[in-house]
Structure 1
Amino acid sequence: MSGIVEKISNMVVGEQQAPKVDPSTETFVGSIDQGTTSSRFLIFDTKGEPVAVHQGEFSQIYPNPGWHEHDPEEIVKSVENCIEGALKIFEKDGHSKESIKAVGITNQRETTVCWDNKTGKALYNAIVWTDTRTAALARELKARDGSDKLQDICGLPISTYPSVTKLLWLLRNVEKVKEAYEAGNLAFGTIDAWLTFKLNGGPDKNIFVSDATNSSRTMFMDIRTLKYSDEVLDFFSYEFDLRKVHMPEIVRSADTKAYGQLTSGSLQGWPIMGCLGDQSSALVGQKGYEPGSAKNTYGTGCFLLYNVGDKPVISKHGLLATVAYNFDGKPIYALEGSIAVAGSGVKFLMNNLGFSQASHKITELAETVQDNGGLVFVTAFSGLFAPYWIDDAHGTMFGITHHTERGHIARATLEAVCFQTKAILDAMEKDSGHKLTELAVDGGMSNSALCMQTQADLVGIPIIRPKMRETTALGAAIAAGFAAGVWKDFDELKEVNTAGQTIFEPKMDDASSKKMFKRWERAVQMSKGWLAEEDAEEGKPQAEGEKEDAKKEQEEGSKL
């Protein structure tokens, strides 16, 4: 793929141009990385190396069990603070802010914000992608006629994960959201849309856009046309007319004008030229540009993306079809497997069970034992995502004995992510017809050599860990850099971030690996049904198909 800059430059360029840069100076690109637990701003050079970074955490709000919220205004403020903090470091090191050609955005996806498009004020906390309050609503939607046809259009199954169930919950349960809806002022968006709207000054400029990698996570977008689907909107409009809700315009992931510019702070006037949902951004940052390439990001959750080329593959084995990126009007697609709990499982051990005050200590604790001691920890704190899609599972430990130590629990927590990654890779092999030869990794948990070696042993292929693992932020910088002309095509990025990588080769024999995974699969079957029973006691509706599934699961469980 080449000529990206030429194609992007053919788009209409707005009145505001990028700041003038002296050709003799260095060139940099800024990247806003808005994650689940923190926001960051990084500044990259043309070799893809970060030269300045500032990070700030923000509040995690848990009003009820299974609920997870963020303050939308606090998110914006955290981003603005990070920009100022990184720029201070950048200039202190002798660089000029005029050498920053553009800014890109990468963000947590699915997380849903509703605001008044007249005032620009959020109407409720953002409902985070991990939130499971919509489990009963998801089951209700699955029971409706036509629900089985949606995934072929949008690439996603109905679950608590996509933004649509969160929006419907807000419309049902939050008075301010209902009032804005009735008045015709309700704006809905994922974090990227909220950020660009606010960073551009809110309702005065009314920059209201979202790229296809984020829009594909709402369930509203036709994954082939990259436009909102009338059929999908009709399906979900049985209670509220979703055409009355203001939704962002879907634009390309790299664009010289669509994302506007920063309207405050030290980078006031600087253009925003790129946007990618975090997992697509990590695939771009890992240079997964060829069909068959894949990456796994071990963050708060865990996300494996597999490039399938210029035509979407609708999974038959529990995976999601998503947009990998759309730089020049020709979208590239990916199969995705998502795990709800990865790094957050480590934080659970730290914060809830008091195992340690530092995440690397969890690996050290896991290394105090030779194996898991027969313990399996199904970390279904938010149900189980791909390829299982079990909303009614709860976190469960199996195999606890007098022999069980803290080290076994730590090891089983790391292994839970590796088991689910193997299940996803097996599903991808079935959907694509091809077996991966290697897997690129990044994210916080990839720092654990024990975790990465376990992963290699379970999947039976080499695990490639780059030295510089800020690949999610790098992807957004690449998107903005393409639009700004910093890089012209993928060939210029071949040597970016290749030095110093670590390769983990499989060491475990195949029989032992299969035995471990078989025990995990058994534990998954036994973890089902907890929330379904609670909903039944509360009189909540259950789809007929799910009743039948529950009956089969009970029968299968009795055989185990």
Structure 2
Amino acid sequence: MKQYIMVIDEGTTGTRSLIFNKDFRIVAQSYEEFTQYTPSEDKVEHNAMEIYEKSVEMCKKAIAQAGIDPADIAAIGITNQRATAVVWDKQTGEPLYNAIVWQDTRTAAQCQAINDGPWGEKARKATGWTVAPVYSSMMLKWFMENVPAIGSKIDAGEALFGTMDTWLIWKLTGGKVHKVSYSNASVMGSYDLHAGKWYQEFLDFLGIPVDIYPVVEDDSGDFGVTEPEIFGAAIPITGVIADQHAALYAQGCRKQGSCKITNGTGSFLDVNVGNKLTISDEGLNTVIAWKIGDDITYALEGYEDVTGSAVQWLRDGLQCIQTSAETETLARSVDSANGVYFVPALTGLSAPYHDPFARGTIFGITRGTTKAHIVRATLEGIAYRLRDILDVVEKESGVKMEQIRIDGGASKNDFLAQRMADMLVAQVDRPFSVEATSLGAAEMAGLAVGLWQESDFDACLEIEKSFVPEMPAEQRESRYKDWKAAIQRSIGWMNRSV
């Protein structure tokens, strides 16, 4: 009996496969990290073939762990790191270069030049995004200008382009389907939200042919069927949704004005703004949250791409901790950060500053500073950055967010969750399962095959713990004032005159 949904959750640092039963319970999951390539300070790359192969391997492990027949899987849902772009040979199925990851800033100077000219505002108004290195179209421009094989293959009509969802769909269907979901398309910096199609005028300006772009499909829709030999059965792919959008949906934020924060490698704050397209003038991004049938739901989003990865830097770069879980105990071991502020701008600052030239800075170090203070300042820095974003969201929407739902691995940290409640002055609710991204993809897939109705989803979200503001207002505003001073000192660091 087809009563299971299998999800491929393609993150920035690893691949996870999960199998959900009809009661929304995870009956099996498997996870493995993949290689991070950083050829220089401004470059972050992935091997797209490694990601595909590990995705298949994790799915097979999850199926075996669940002890089910692949034929019992009703559908596959895919959720993915957004904007990461890859170009491949459509005859051989081989990537023509490493994928450029959404954290990459190699196109920062080109983006700045565009923003300084007439196309900056024009593109922002059409795509909902300030032109930035996270634009997949800017990554494609770099591919064409710097990888001769890509330029020649595109000229010969022998190359295809897409984000990681597109790549996985194409590989899993044996090269039969070249599609992208609406949610992912809206984050590529290539999609005209007003016209509802690829932004050909801007792509012409960049010198990019629109015909290598994928077809745009509903997030709960038809993305083809897997080749039978891959999993042992032909399984339809019926749900594909970008990671932050999936979390927004699964967290129950399906009504206008509801809000969630996902804390993973980066932190993403999204608020559902309903069916009316709203282009931000306050430094936020406008995205298609999802498209189901004839209905398009939009969201305003602000994000910082280095939050959880700042904790990873404490572990792997500074080497002052061995595991991320240690940070909560260390942060609580001291009464305060002792005046230390850590701006986690390791790859620049995102909303509302949008400064790729900012860099990570630690202020207030004295002889009394210990690693516990640095760790506490790191977690507090994440909360301060979210305050930066939420202030703009509330100004733009005209709504004070009284209740915010959180998900993502870093949300398991009670100290961080409490600091978020303190700085955002809102009740912060954490569900029992912080795998909202995967659940959202499962829900999209299950909707398309009739396994569930949307009304079924309200019952599957259980709140494990709620955090309410405890910090006195005077103390909160004093600390935030000092934080804003630290931000100003970090802005433009790599673009300063010397």
Match of 1:380 in 2: 345
The CA deviation string for residues 300-344 of structure 1, in whole angstroms up to 9 with x for no partner, is 011111000001221111100001111112110000111111111
1:85 to 61, 65, 88: 61
User: Does 2:214 correspond to 1:214?
Assistant: no
- Cα deviations by residue, 1:275-310 (Å, 9 ceiling, x for unpaired): 000100111111211111111010001111100000
Matches within 5 A, 1:541-560: none
Q: Give the 3 Å change call, closer, same or farther, for CA 440–284 of structure 1 in structure 2.
A: same
Distance 1:530 1:69 in 2: 24
The 3-state SS of whatever aligns with 2:153 is helix
What secondary structure does 1:518 align onto? helix
- Could you say which residue in structure 1 is the equivalent of 2:134? 161
TM-superposed deviation, 1:176: 1.2
Letter of the 2:399 partner, please give it.
H
SS of corresponding position for 1:393: coil
Q: Indicate if the aligned counterparts of 1:252 and 1:329 stay in contact, CA closer than 8 A.
A: no
* 1:194 has 2:161 as partner: no
- 1:344 corresponds in structure 2 to 309
Equivalent AA in structure 2 for residue 249 of structure 1: V
Equivalent in the alignment of 2:466 = 503
In structure 1, distance between residues paired with 2:441 and 2:397 = 27
State the AA in 1 paired with 2:62.
A
Question: 1-side partners of 2:466 and 2:157: how far apart?
Answer: 54
Distance 1:230 1:175 in 2: 23
1:414 to 344, 358, 379: 379
Whole-angstrom CA distance in 2 between matches of 1:60 and 1:264 = 29
State whether residues 355 and 362 of structure 1, in contact with CA within 8 Å, keep that contact through their aligned partners in structure 2: no
Q: What does residue range 526-537 of structure 1 map to in structure 2 within 5 Å? A: 526-533=489-496
Equivalent position of 2:214 in the other structure: 248
- Percent identical residues: 36
Q: Distance in 1 between matches of 2:229 and 2:435?
A: 26
Q: Show the counterpart of 1:177.
A: 150
Report the CA distance between 1:415 and its aligned residue: 1.1
Query: What is the distance in 1 between the residues matched to 2:414 and 2:227?
Result: 40
Q: Give 1:268 deviation, angstroms.
A: 3.2
What is the CA–CA distance in structure 1 between the aligned matches of 2:7 and 2:83, rounded to whole Å? 20
Structure 1: tracts of 5 or more residues without a match: 1-20, 538-560
1:125 alignment partner, one of 98, 108, 119: 98
Correspondence for 1:302: 267
2-side partners of 1:263 and 1:158: how far apart?
A: 41
**Secondary structure, counterpart of 2:229 in structure 1:** coil
| C-alpha distance after superposition, 1:1-22 (max 9, x if no partner) | xxxxxxxxxxxxxxxxxxxx37
Task: Give the partner amino acid of 1:405.
Answer: T
2-side partners of 1:353 and 1:340: how far apart?
19
CA distance in 1 between counterparts of 2:260 and 2:205 reads 34
Cα offset, 1:263, TM superposition: 4.2
Counterparts in 2 of 1:73 and 1:197: CA distance versus 1, 3 Å: same
| 1:441 CA displacement | 0.2
Supply the distance in 2 between the matched residues of 1:248 and 1:268 (Cα, whole angstroms): 26
CA spacing shift, 1:142–1:266, aligned 2, 3 Å? same
Report how far residue 96 of structure 1 moved.
4.0
CA distance 1:223–1:262, change in 2 (3 Å): farther
Which of residues 292, 317, 322 is equivalent to 2:282? 317
Tell me which residue corresponds to 2:205. 235
Moved over 4 A (4+): none
1:501 partner SS:
strand
SS where residue 114 of structure 1 aligns? strand
- What residue is the counterpart of 2:194 in the other structure? 224
For the pair 1:391 / 2:356, whether they are aligned, the reply is: yes
Alpha-carbon RMSD: 1.4
Q: Which amino acid aligns with 2:276?
A: K
Counterpart amino acid of residue 143 in structure 2 = L
**Alpha-carbon separation, structure 2, partners of 1:518 and 1:313:** 30
How far apart, in 2, do the equivalents of 1:313 and 1:510 lie?
32
Q: TM-score, normalised by structure 2?
A: 0.97
- Cα gap change, 1:136/1:263 in structure 2, threshold over 3 Å: closer, same or farther? farther
Q: Secondary structure at the match of 1:283?
A: helix
1:431, 1:263 → 2: CA distance?
A: 48
Question: What is the DSSP-based 3-state SS (H/G/I as helix, E as strand, rest coil) of the residue aligned with 1:495?
Answer: helix
For residue 72 of structure 1, what is the aligned residue in structure 2?
Answer: 48
Please say if residues 223 and 236 of structure 2, whose CA atoms lie closer than 8 Å, have aligned partners that are also in contact: no
In structure 2, do the counterparts of structure 1 residues 50 and 316 end up closer, same or farther at CA, with 3 Å as the change threshold?
same
User: Which amino acid in 2 is paired with 1:286?
Assistant: Q
- The answer as to whether partners of 1:201 and 1:263 remain within 8 angstroms in 2 is no
SS state at 2:287 partner: strand
Which is greater in Rg? Answer: 1
Q: Does 2:458 correspond to 1:458?
A: no
> 8 Å contact 2:79–2:437 — kept in the other structure?
yes
Determine if contact 1:212/1:226 at 8 Å carries over to the other structure: no
Quote the offset at 1:468 in angstroms: 1.2
Structure 2 residue 6 is matched with structure 1 residue 30: yes
Measured at CA, do residues 107 and 358 of structure 1 come closer, stay the same or move farther in structure 2, by a change above 3 Å? same
1:144, distance to aligned residue in structure 2 (A): 2.9
The Cα shift of 1:357 comes to 1.9
* Further displaced range: 217-226 or 259-268: 259-268
Q: Which residue of 1 aligns with 2:19?
A: 43
Which residue identity is paired with 2:381? A
Q: Is 1:517–2:486 an aligned residue pair?
A: no
